[in-house]
Amino acid sequence: MRTTNWQRFRESYLFLTLLAALVGFVSGVGAILFRWLINFFIEVFYGIGSKIFSFIGKSYYAIAPALGGLIIGPIIHYAASETKGHGVPEIIEAVRTKGGRIRPRVALIKPLVSAICIGSGGSAGREGPIAQIGASSGSAIGQMLGISPEKLRVLVACGAGAGIAATFNAPIAGIFFAMEVILAEFRTRSFIPAVVATVTATSFARRFLGDYPTLGPLNYSLRSYSELPLYLGLGILAGLVGILEIDVLYKFEDFFERIKVLPPFLIPALGGLILGSIGLALPHVLGVGYGENLLPPLTNALIAAIKERLDLKLMILLVFAKILATSITLGAGGSGGVFAPSLFIGGMLGGAYGYIMNLLFPDITAGYGAYALAGMAALFSGVSRSTLTSIIILFEMTRDYEIILPLLLSCVVSDAIVVFSGRNIYIQKLLRKGVKVKPERPPDILDMTLIKEIMKKGEDLIVIKKGMSVKEVYELMEKRGYHGFPVLDEKGRLIGLVTHNEINDVMTSGLWDAKVESIMIRDPLTLYPDETLREALLRIGIRRGSHFPVVDRKDRRKLVGFVAKSDIISAYVEKTKEIEWFPA
């Protein structure tokens, strides 16, 4: 009995929610340790390392990323190849094709290699690694306790969202990241555990890191409604640059994969050397690019753009330099996220665009810092196809709600531009590996379709009256092409069901004149008009059968419709076609 009770509790919603809290705690701890680890390796490479190599002066900026690549290359190649790159595609693959199963070692190796990569100057973000840390922790806990694959997927998404929430101090964005990017669904059964996980992770992280917005409190607003078309233009530009970012990233991945003169574990070092050469001229593109993990002695270029302290030429240059730097880092096999680089690129793009708009339309435009903010969210919205996450995370990183209208417009337009290009920076990586996943999880047709939507009713509802002969029923079946009918009494009340099986049995005996009530099924399985296809199929699976009267839930003898199993199958196929056409 104890085993049975444990099994029931293990599959309960309460147990999943409790596990989500545990995963949130682990993710919060992981976020804190990971940020500390990045700072540790920044000190190793740019504190201790710069002193050791002081004799080469500024040339050390070209060497440091190569040293980092030299360290992480063998670790990734021999210990866990899935820790290479930005991490989120591997989480999506685990959730959508592997039942949420991730190797536990990823939770240990990913933070190490990513911290070394970023700390040595690799152009990558924190969010991919911490999401993978949280996701792999959730997977390990769920596998250890033997929960079902469906619940394991939810737990993995909870870990990923909790990691995002803790590292950016953005609990709501973490929830939407889990739902929109990882699970690609919005359901209560997933939403509540995600909330519990992100609240737990954020609360723990705030205890040690403080409660302050990542980019500082800002206050920008729409100066005039005449300005909205300009933000629409920013959305279009952000979508086009987003497409460029995706294409350049995977072009460099192809480039480095074609290099055969070096063993694979040395390719990250080669990429680091190329990246370092760019860093000599533009050190702003090295590392995360903003926040407390800046490489010394750099200034925070993203904050400078938002606060309108960068000139136009530098912002334009940094857009393309950061795309190049990130593509080299990750394309060569480095480890880190694309979230932070995309925010940086979008901020520079928006700042440059706003700067030009200020010159052209000085009377109706806000400062270019407002455009830098909108550009951050708009670019990431396009490349990741996660509009809600992008909008909300910007609110939480700045705590500025006044820019809501231009932000919504820019993000949606950018997303639309990238949609019709067929690109998605996360899904693209999986498709290149031959993993077939949809950018968005399609709606569950079985749960969103009701029996009343597919049942025969009105003139299409054909019934058999009590007293009709077998021959008459057979002729009606032949004429209408139906293989089953409900049987009603003289008052129009349901009394049974007759199908071709009963007719065929009687025909072989030659009893053509037998009355239908003598052969009908007297207690047929009935369905209700307000139940979903899933609920109906679960009951059909228990009772079997192929034809089902649909009755009023309050009166099981009041016939309101009729459904055949073939109707359910046809409805499923047709509704699947309806949602398949839309480009994702």
CATH superfamily of the 225-432 domain: Clc chloride channel (1.10.3080.10)
Task: Decide if 167 contacts 130 (C-beta within 8 A).
Answer: yes
pLDDT tier at 150, thresholds 50, 70, 90: confident
Q: Once rounded to an integer, what is the mean pLDDT over residues 241-253?
A: 94
CA distance 581 to 164: 32
pLDDT, tens digit (0-9, with 9 covering 90-100), for 422-447: 788 888 888 887 777 665 555 567 77
Is-same-fold flag (2-209; 225-432)? yes
pLDDT, tens digit (0-9, with 9 covering 90-100), for 311-349: 999 999 999 999 999 999 999 988 888 888 999 999 999
- Beta pairing, strands 464-465 & 484-488: parallel
Residue that wins the pLDDT comparison between 61 and 453: 453
- Beta pairing, strands 555-564 & 547-552: antiparallel
Flag the least confident range among 23-27, 321-325, 462-466.
462-466
Radius of gyration in angstroms for the set of CA atoms belonging to the chain, rounded to a whole number = 30
CATH class of 2-209: mainly alpha
CA distance 45 to 18: 41
* pLDDT at residue 292, rounded to an integer: 52
Percentage of the residues of the chain whose pLDDT score is greater than 70? 90
* pLDDT at residue 581, rounded to an integer: 39
CA distance 268 to 56: 22
Which long-range contacts (C-beta less than 8 Å, at least 24 apart) are formed by 540-548? Answer: 540/565, 546/483, 546/484, 546/499, 547/483, 547/484, 547/485, 547/497, 547/499, 548/497, 548/524
pLDDT tier at 294, thresholds 50, 70, 90: low
DSSP state for residue 486 in the 8-state scheme: E
Flag the least confident range among 3-7, 68-72, 380-384.
3-7
CA distance 268 to 259: 12
Flag the least confident range among 208-212, 386-390, 564-568.
208-212
Q: Once rounded to an integer, what is the mean pLDDT over residues 290-315?
A: 75
Domain boundaries, the chain: 2-209, 225-432, 445-576
- Per-residue exposure over 263-289, b if at least 16 CB sit within 10 Å of its own CB, e if not: ebbbbbbbbbbbbbebbeebbbbbbbb
pTM: 0.76
User: Mean pLDDT score of the chain, rounded to an integer?
Assistant: 84
Residue that wins the pLDDT comparison between 221 and 472: 472
Residue 190: CB atoms within 10 Å: 25
DSSP state for residue 442 in the 8-state scheme: P
CATH number of 445-576: 3.10.580.10
End-to-end CA distance of the chain: 48
pLDDT, tens digit (0-9, with 9 covering 90-100), for 518-542: 888 888 889 999 888 888 888 887 6
CA distance 160 to 178: 6
- Per-residue exposure over 471-498, b if at least 16 CB sit within 10 Å of its own CB, e if not: ebbbeebeeeebebbbbbeeeeebbbbb
Tell me: pLDDT of 239 over 80: yes
